[in-house]
Amino acid sequence: MYDELLNEDGGPREHARRLIDSLNRLGHERLLSSAERRDAIFLQQGITFDTYGPDGETRDRPFPLDLIPRLIPHDEWRQLERGIRQRVLALNRFVADVYGAAEVLRDGVVPWELVTTRAGFLREAHGIEPPGGVWCHVSGCDLVRDSDGTWRALEDNVRVPSGISYVLENRAAMSRLVPELFDEYAVRPVSDYPEGLLSALRSIAPGGAGTPTVVVWTPGPANSAYFEHAFLARRMGVELVQAGDLVVRDATCYLRTTTGLARVDAIYRRVDDAFIDPLELRPDSLLGVPGLMRAFREGNVAIANAPGTGVADDKAIYHYVPEMIRYYLAEEPLIENVPTYLLSDPDQREFVLENLDKLVVKPTGESGGAGVFVGPTAGPEDVAEQRRLVEMNPARWIAQDTVWLSTVPTMCERGPLAPRHVDLRPFAVFGESVWVVPGGLTRVAMREGSMIVNSSRGGGSKDTWVLAEDGAREPAEPDPFNPPTMPGLRQFGWTEQERQQQQARQGR
């Protein structure tokens, strides 16, 4: 396993030397007291996440932030940034192709039958041309490091990727709780994400006079990521809406206000495809807006991410992303996949079944770590059960070589720091171009030996520091513990004239 702060001899890596010195000066007791303050404040501010207990019940807890940051040197990040942009561009071209000319399928680069049998394939999206030609507006690419420190892509998330609010809150919390750790580093900021997202959403909105009206569409407070939905709406200075707040008239989407209907130009949706329109998709959906797909199809409203992007989110499709990069961009992949096996292929399935105790097996349509089988840590009964599940429905599964995720020193209860496995989810925003937020959400497996980092399965998080090249200091981050009553409109891209136009359109 590769430790990101310590070398093989147990000494600090060059870029981590000053952090380790700062931690030694800070001391263990100060870290513990800061952790107690963190939990109390996160609960007070509602910075929480639902976890699932062994009895199946959900439990609300403070979002778990470990106070030892993860460092990524500038040169290393620059290469990752290029690789992430490359994947996003290829995936966007793939989705547009699947619902358009289907050349990638006709040329046999990706099997037709594989695409059309995916749960995320949306027949109702065929022939749609979204505003600006962008399908994957917000992407989260899960990255891991293998035993020699090489970065690899583990998954692509282009449906409704979550976690960016925790990236911003983690940074603000670290700045408040342990500001001493920032003294020796120039860390690239992340606080401009809401402004970047709002700019991208405006850029894809259908043309018209004035400033486009943008809303964040949430399933409601019962959703495990509701905090993020409300956070982003507040930080962008836009309305947070549910289905009952929206209505479609004459293939145009409107927001209900106290003075009547106000047109909506762009929707950042956090509702799954199947539920967005009961007229064309699930008729029993209480979360959807009747007629929304027609309004989207006729180009009267932009939806991010576009309905149908889930076809590129599938773990079986992930296997073909390197070929997509070569096909669409005529480039070699800058970030390689983890070696992956499709169990619908008889030869690959035979190999996997013979080596289940050495591989990781995942269901193709699940997220959040659900159903993942880790062979090296499984017992004989678990191996036998996974064999039965694969043989019963091979197409439902993929397998991957086990990557012993890199480790970073982590606070463990009240004991000393200890190595824990981590991954990284960087976020990319695609508007007029692709912008990658410096860093992303580092997820950490809090249990010793575990490689399940998902927050819903008990994982934690770390603040990810991308070190600046020129030594320029990071600007002050927003303080989550003393939030303003209204977002700073100028800070997030609003002029006074735009603010007045927005309030007039919404009847405020």
Nearest to 218 by CA among 169, 286, 287, 137: 287
- Confidence band of 456 (pLDDT split at 50, 70, 90): low
Instruction: Determine the Cα–Cα distance for residues 335 and 342; give it in Å rounded to an integer.
Output: 20
Q: What is the pLDDT of residue 147?
A: 87
**Looking at residue 110, what DSSP letter applies?**
S
Question: Which residues, 6+ apart, have CB-to-CB distance to 243 below 8 Å?
Answer: 217, 286, 287, 288, 289
Whether 89 has a pLDDT exceeding 70, the answer reads yes
Does position 484 have pLDDT exceeding 70, yes or no? no
Distance CA 138, CA 290 (A): 24
Question: Is 185's pLDDT higher than 90?
Answer: yes
List of residues 6+ apart from 97 with CB closer than 8 A? 103, 104, 105, 328
The answer to whether residue 502 scores a pLDDT higher than 60 is: no
pLDDT of res. 368: 57
Highest mean pLDDT among 31-35, 206-210, 476-480: 31-35
Could you give the CA distance from residue 253 to residue 218 in angstroms, rounded to a whole number?
16
Q: If pLDDT is split at 50, 70 and 90, which confidence band does 454 have?
A: confident
**β-strand 373-374 against 359-363: which pairing, if any?**
antiparallel
Better-predicted residue by pLDDT, 503 or 176? 176
Asked if residues 453 and 443 have their Cβ atoms less than 8 Å apart, the reply is yes
pLDDT at residue number 240: 98
pLDDT at 181 over 70: yes
CA gap 192, 478 in Å, rounded: 10
pLDDT digits over 352-386, tens only? 999 999 999 999 866 656 788 988 888 999 999 99
Q: Are the beta carbons of 328 and 91 closer than 8 angstroms? A: no
323 vs 109: CA distance, rounded Å:
7
**Confidence band for 270, pLDDT divided at 50, 70 and 90:** very high
| pLDDT at residue 506 tops 50 | no
pLDDT tens digits for range 59-83: 667 778 899 999 999 999 999 999 9
Q: State the Cα–Cα distance between residues 307 and 117, nearest whole angstrom.
A: 17
